[in-house]
Amino acid sequence: MRIYLLLNQPYPNGYALSKRFHLYAKGFVEHDQDVKILIPRPTDKIIKPLNNNIKGCYDNIEYKYFWKHTTRSKFFIVRRWHDFFGVFMAGIYFLTKKPDIVITSTFSNIAFFYWKVITYFLSTKFIREKNEVDFLNLSTITYKQIKKAKNKNRWFDGFIFINKQLRDYTNNVLKINKPSIIVPILVKDFKKAEIKINKGTILYSGTYVERKDSLITILNAFNTLVKTYKHIKLILTGSPEISPDYHRIMQIIKENDIGNSIEFTGYLNESVLQKFMSSSEILLVPKPDNRQNRYNFPTKLGEYLITGRPVLSTKVGTIGDLFTGEENIFFTEFDADSMANKIKYVFENTELANKIGENGRKFALKEFNYYYQSKRMIEFFNTIKIK
């Protein structure tokens, strides 16, 4: 079976969706499928691009950009041209290579319609991977927005949903009932040996956006903890400068004089990030309760769990449904005091924390195994009939 995955994020070094598509592809390859990841447009920033090669083979997965460079132009009109022509070239590529399956995630409605026409002509099964709710930044959506979302999701022969909530939303709100499969977050075991734990280290790896990942609340909780534990350190990966909450974040750090206890690492490659996660005493993924988080399933949670370190989260959405507090994860209410108290509890109950961390790892290896989930997807693809 020839399977192409259309990605609109940097690859092979990238973000959550890049990692998810990579594990899809890795599983397909290990099940003897012919697989390629295609990136229609340049995806990287001009300053500090994550990738420089427009094609290659990474972890036994072939990939290809449709442009001669990977970096986005600083000119608006050039970016629009790249977007348009990249989508067009991907369609031409399908016509020449005739894939059996095309999987995509987030592109424009025009792109979806264009690719649907071509895949229908080729009798190729056109699948959408859906890991976020439509209009995710809104608390509620109007009838007009529902119609717009329905129109954008109508072109597909089937869906890969990251959780039950998104499938129910698509079926019941958008009234789209196509063949579907639920594939949770995916993991690959990267833990090779025991790593020394740096006592008092708390790690957060996320977007620096309060609405999505609650960094403001984390900082307020950390400010409380510093008063009790002078030696603790908060490790923050990624780049805060691009966050809409950046000035507020820096203001909190300055006003509370906690900068010396916080380490901003910047963007880390996979191996270095894994070492940071594996050596931290506790890993944070506390999600605010809002429409976006009720429908998503954070990829980084799987990476956290693989380390065997204790994870602290809120019960929002899928996380609250799948995990059991004090068994394979620690739960906290979404406020700074509750978060600080639960982190204290983890610090002061090392044996229990280590046990829960290891239980979380076992759960992830069983439930989120990319090899097993890719086999399920291949079986699912074989059941789809093109209409």
pLDDT in tens, 291-302: 999 999 999 999
Instruction: Identify the residue with better confidence: 387 or 132.
Output: 132
Read off the pLDDT of each residue in 251-258 and give the average, rounded to a whole number.
Answer: 92
Copy the structure tokens of residue 322: 């799948």
- What torsion, rounded to 10 degrees, do the Cα atoms 271, 207, 55, 161 define? 100
Copy the structure tokens of residue 377: 């997807």
Closest CA to 94 of 64, 115, 113: 115
* Pairwise CA distance, residues 213 & 263, whole Å: 18
pLDDT in tens, 136-154: 888 899 999 999 999 999 9
Instruction: Indicate the pLDDT class of residue 213, thresholds 50, 70 and 90.
Output: confident
Q: How confident is the model at residue 212, as a pLDDT?
A: 86
Closest CA to 130 of 154, 88, 159: 159
Q: Which residue has the tokens 């990251």?
A: 162
Closest CA to 86 of 62, 70, 102: 70
Residues facing residue 228 across a β-bridge: none
Residues facing residue 175 across a β-bridge: none
Residue ranges of domains in the chain, CATH in brackets: 2-186+370-383 (3.40.50.2000), 198-367 (3.40.50.2000)
Read off the pLDDT of each residue in 120-146 and give the average, rounded to a whole number.
Answer: 94
Read off the pLDDT of each residue in 335-353 and give the average, rounded to a whole number.
Answer: 95
Q: How confident is the model at residue 190, as a pLDDT?
A: 87
Read off the pLDDT of each residue in 280-305 and give the average, rounded to a whole number.
Answer: 93
Read off the pLDDT of each residue in 162-184 and give the average, rounded to a whole number.
Answer: 96
Averaged pLDDT score across all residues of the chain:
93
Q: How confident is the model at residue 266, as a pLDDT?
A: 86
Instruction: Indicate the pLDDT class of residue 244, thresholds 50, 70 and 90.
Output: confident
Q: How confident is the model at residue 217, as a pLDDT?
A: 94
Instruction: Indicate the pLDDT class of residue 241, thresholds 50, 70 and 90.
Output: confident
210 close to 217: Cβ distance less than 8 angstroms: yes
Q: Parallel, antiparallel, or unpaired for β 233-237 and 198-205?
A: parallel
CA atoms within 13 A on the CB side of 268: 18
Task: Give me the long-range contacts of 292-296 (CB less than 8 A, separation at least 24).
Answer: 292/132, 292/133, 292/136, 292/137, 292/211, 292/212, 293/212, 293/317, 294/133, 294/165, 295/132, 295/133, 295/136, 295/163, 295/165, 295/166, 295/169, 296/131, 296/132, 296/133, 296/136, 296/162, 296/163
